[in-house]
Structure 1
Amino acid sequence: MNMSMNTSLPPIRPMPSPYTIPSPAARMTRRNTYTLKVRGNRMADCNLFDGDVIVIRRYQHDSQDETVIAEINQQALALRQLSISRAGVRLWLDDARHSEVFLHNRDIQVLGMFMGIEHHPVTH
């Protein structure tokens, strides 16, 4: 087999990529965001009323630490624990004044869920 190179072609130059590959030392965070809408007034004792929107942000850092924040009625609350099951969503607030809150599936409507990974630059 006879192969020859065509010298009239321009040299190959690397193309800039819209995607960047983080260095192994870069810090990564997995992020899940859930948006729920309250249906009915069965949870009025928890100050959750028909039409209220609950945003739950869950972050898992590369160090396996996990942070969960719920935003209820535009007020951010730190969560000690989050449990999602077939029956609904259970929130254990980090606030001693409130006990756990259980959001039964019949009482909520899932508006959306976003899952992603954030790359954070390494700072020294």
Structure 2
Amino acid sequence: MLTAKQHELIQFIQKRLDETGISPSFEEMKEALDLKSKSGVHRLISALEERGFIRRLPNRARALEVIKQPEDATPTPRATVAANDAVASASAVMSKAPEPANDVIEIPLHGRIAAGAPIEALEGQNSLPVPAALLGPGEHYALEVSGDSMIEAGIFDGDFALVRRTDSARDGEIVVALVRGEEATLKYLHKDGGSVRLDPANAAYDPQVYGPGEVQVQGKLAGLLRRYH
């Protein structure tokens, strides 16, 4: 049995996928469930994922797929968008055949990035072999994650963040943010008037708020690679 909030969340995700073909943002889920913070949303998503009701699509940040519905829910099609003609345009990428397993791209590996307190992201000459299926269009680079402030978004210490290089991002996206020109961190981006708030995905950490011009976006999270020892 799911909790009331878990049941409410999976129904909201399914409804949004049926309507638009795009999973809702964490901010939208927080508001729909009347939660006080996005960390509560992350906990609900993790619980649903562990119980096999949803899965996170590995090659797209925040993309969710509903695998099964609670037994007491009204049956609806799986949220694999290609099965729904009404949202086929939003899911064309999802429905394409996967890249061959041996199709690997070498991308630059630029040191470490903090998922905790900001640390320096080092430039380096190393490279990282990455399955082409994990990368979309654009120029990409990789950073090794240090810290645990993004664990509720499924990003763990030692993971490799695959980053699409860009200097802009929308609210709620996970970005590589250069703070005061010298320290880089991986966080959710939010703009509050003239200030910038960098939100963790771990209830043990507080948001970081900076003034105008103190934060520069250097890329958006495109995917993750995990090393298993």
Greater Cα radius of gyration, structure 1 or 2: 1
TM-score (norm 2): 0.18
Which structure has more strand as a fraction of its residues? 1
Which structure has more helix as a fraction of its residues? 2
TM-score (norm 1): 0.29
